[in-house]
Structure 1
Amino acid sequence: MPGMRARMAADEHMSPRSLMHMQQLLSADSPRASPRSTIGPRWRALHGEGGWAGLLDPLSMPPWAKRPNTPEWLTQQSNWIGYVAVCESEREVARMGRRDIAIVLRGTATCLEWAENLRASLVPLDGETGEGKQAGPEDPKVARGFRSLYKTAGEKVKSLSEDVMDEVRRLMEKYKGEELSITIVGHSLGGALALLVADEIATTVPDAPPVAVVSFGGPKVGNAAFVDKLKQSGKVNVLRIVNAGDMVTKVPGVAPRLPLSKEQYQHVGAELRIDSKNSPCLRPDVGPASRHDLEAYLHLIDGFTATGHPFRYDARRSVIRLLQLQKGNVKKEYVNRARELGVDPAAPADVGRSMAYGNCAVASPS
């Protein structure tokens, strides 16, 4: 026990490479965007063709390794679930090698809220199995709660399914004849809904472009038949980013009252595993909430290079939001240095900057 306490104390007081680097990370904003290289020739591989083989561990990155800021709306509590956007800059289209349609879906505000929305019994993906037919293990099924959130419409709003599909079809018609791709990103519940969006695009849009799903801390969504359906579509690539110890990525387990061998929930796609213990900023004993936090995910990805390798010393993302959202889990030297620099770690995260949300909303199943 004394040895363990000494080791934990040493971890707690681990410092970044230099005071200057600490001060840079504690600045209010991350540095200006680095120059962007042309990815046109590699966009299909980067979009998941080939299952991201050879790109994840070690992580494929340019020398200047730039990461974006967290969209402010991702941490707000509201009934807005996300947005659909499209790249309109012809210069960016040329750089990326295609025009990308981005679908971004937020997670719930807390793990408890997410858990309350979850109903873990499996139901048929399409809601029907045919007259007189009982759904069996060979039928694609998903968690009842996820399907309800995705398909339920309100009195004055369309369902998320209708909203997203209408906008995807509109954009595909607008840019008909161009090389397109669709990238769907989601955290937690948003990661689960992202898979349902991807499946519907692959199933109902015959001329759909390549679809990539990138989920952060996403739960399991469906049974083996659902996983096979996504794989066999030939249109959907899935990348799951998982923080070690994030309990949300381990649920649902097995659907109630159904045989283990036939109705077990399964993950789908390639996995990129990160670990809070590798961060020089976070305490080594962070709890479950911190391990599932989106800002923690973005911080860890910013510093990831390969499994077993140290945190990237030139990580660029500001840790101000990490301090404000995870103060109790940030090492003391960062908290103290923040105060010296005039940053109040107890202040609420800055969510003042506004942005257009689009028309995607989740209606209450009740």
Structure 2
Amino acid sequence: MNFFAARSYLLCFILMYSYGQLLPLTSDFIKQGYVSEGMDEGVFAVHILEIKSLIECALRCGMNLLCNAVDFCFLDGLYTCRFRYGHANLSNTITQCEVYEITASKDCPDGLFLRAQGICKINTDECQNDPCLNGATCTNTPGSFNCTCDAGWTGIVCDEDINECLDNPCQNGGTCSNSDGSFTCTCAGGFTGALCNEVLPNIALGKPAAQSSTFLDSNAAYAAAYAVDGNRGTDVVVDKCTITRDGDTNPWWRVDLQAVYNITSVRILNRGINQKGKDISDWLRDVTVTVGLTESDVNTSCGFFAGPGNASQLVVIDCPTLPQGRFVKISKTTEHLILCEVDVFGVPG
């Protein structure tokens, strides 16, 4: 074995043994006045030491935890030992060792390049294997990748669901239900939209109405139309609410929406205390709301209010099954049915 081969084997042994040992770092050399810093083509930092021995240059690299490559240059009678730190900016086909060799030989054609352990890695494009899940965008980085998650997902590969309901996104009394990568708001009566922030129109306002009977038949003040006239007063005398007559033990009231809708909710404004102080608001009880396509078949259930009602109470009856129909009917099994205003909410069917 010739001298040069023996020296190469010795240097490899020294590097493998000494690399990673917890010994003095670069700051020690800076204090001694030996280190100058520079950037080599923006690839990685190069620290230059005035060390004349190739063996000592290799030993110093192995003693420094930050050193991941070293080259030793003898040029124009000067010796230069250079430590290399950081990560090279690699393409998908070049290795760190090749980058170090290129930059070492560029300004030191007669230099001897040595490398420490563990730096020769090919920068493969991990994004080719689609590691990011649930529609996330993958960005390749040297030796790794980053996932930019879509809304509703988190985690390194975007596989962890975010529970959006923890932030109470549903407005106006809406109920939030979490799902994988998303959420759903179930809106309270009178509201719609993804976040229940859109007000539904009252589709019963001004529409034709009828009822089973009218209190004091000759007095139009208690006719069915007054429940959809937009007057939200609750004094049955002053504000003209609807009332069925005495003896009508199965009273009902019905509105013709004049188009087919999926009904989401019905609101009933109960009577208040009249000018004489009379309070019979508790008569609003055992109320059933049904929906139908024809006025003779209004039997699809929407909801029920057991009661008893309170004075001027706005009773909200939600229709969880979104029954479809043109007619909405309110009925009870005891006399009298008194309605000061009825609001109906729905979406076109």
With structure 1 as the length reference, what TM-score do the two structures score? 0.21
Q: Higher RCO, 1 or 2 (CA under 8 Å, sep at least 6)? A: 1
Which is richer in helix?
1
Structure showing the higher strand proportion among its residues? 2
TM-score (norm 2): 0.22
